[in-house]
Structure 1
């Protein structure tokens, strides 16, 4: 990792809830609101933005865990702002706390853990996984 990543670093993204982000299973919309799946994706994305400037050319981040509490709905067309704050940095482990808000208030909170590894280590893990199937 390049130097400079420190606890307290913050990144933000804003999204507009679109039809492909609605709560749906097998193509059928169950609720016309921002889905937990989409929120999880966006929490991972805003957390990834924390590490991107600090990755060496031979490194990559991998998601290790996501804990999420989806607290309130956000309707189709609404704006959601997701903010990640780096709360723990231990060796190659990066932990962020993420908050999702719309114009009504907080709609979700989560914790995202990423591991930074050499690309070759990741490639070997993928090769090992392909042999075990």
Structure 2
């Protein structure tokens, strides 16, 4: 990991709620608003932006956990701004606090944990899992 990643670093993204972000299960829309699933994805994305400038060529970040509270709805066409702030950095583990807001105020808060690992180590782990799965299905 490159030097320079410091507590307090901030990244922001803005999205517009689209129909593919609606709360739905098995193709059926339950609520025509920004879903918790979509919010989770965007919280991970804005948190990833914190680490991207600091990854070495041989490294990659992996999501380890997301803890979020979805507090209010956001309808079709509404703008949602998600802001991640780096709150802790211990070795290769990075934590961010994320706030999601729309025109009416805070609609979600959360914490994202990422682990920075060598790409080689990630590939080795995935290869091990693939071998086990192939054995189980043969």
Partner SS for 1:62: strand
Give the corresponding residue for 2:19.
Answer: 19
Q: Separation in 2 of the partners of 1:128 and 1:6?
A: 34
How far 1:128 moved relative to its partner?
Answer: 1.0
Q: Separation in 2 of the partners of 1:109 and 1:5?
A: 22
Give the corresponding residue for 2:50.
Answer: 50
Instruction: Give the TM-score of the pair, scaled to structure 2.
Output: 0.96
Partner SS for 1:43: helix
How far 1:41 moved relative to its partner?
Answer: 0.0
Note the aligned Cα RMSD (angstroms). 0.4
Q: Separation in 2 of the partners of 1:62 and 1:132?
A: 21
- The superposition leaves residues 20-70 of structure 1 with CA deviations (integer Å, 9 ceiling, x where unpaired) of 000011111100000000000000000000000000000000000000100
Partner SS for 2:127: helix
Q: For structure 2, which runs of at least 5 residues remain unmatched after alignment?
A: 134-138
How far 1:13 moved relative to its partner?
Answer: 0.1
Q: For structure 1, which runs of at least 5 residues remain unmatched after alignment?
A: none
How many residues align structurally? 133
- The superposition leaves residues 42-101 of structure 1 with CA deviations (integer Å, 9 ceiling, x where unpaired) of 000000000000000000000000001000000010000000000000000000000000
**1:1-133 equivalence runs, <5 A:** 1-133=1-133
Q: Separation in 2 of the partners of 1:125 and 1:69?
A: 31
Partner SS for 2:56: coil
The structure that has the greater radius of gyration is 2
Instruction: Give the TM-score of the pair, scaled to structure 1.
Output: 0.99
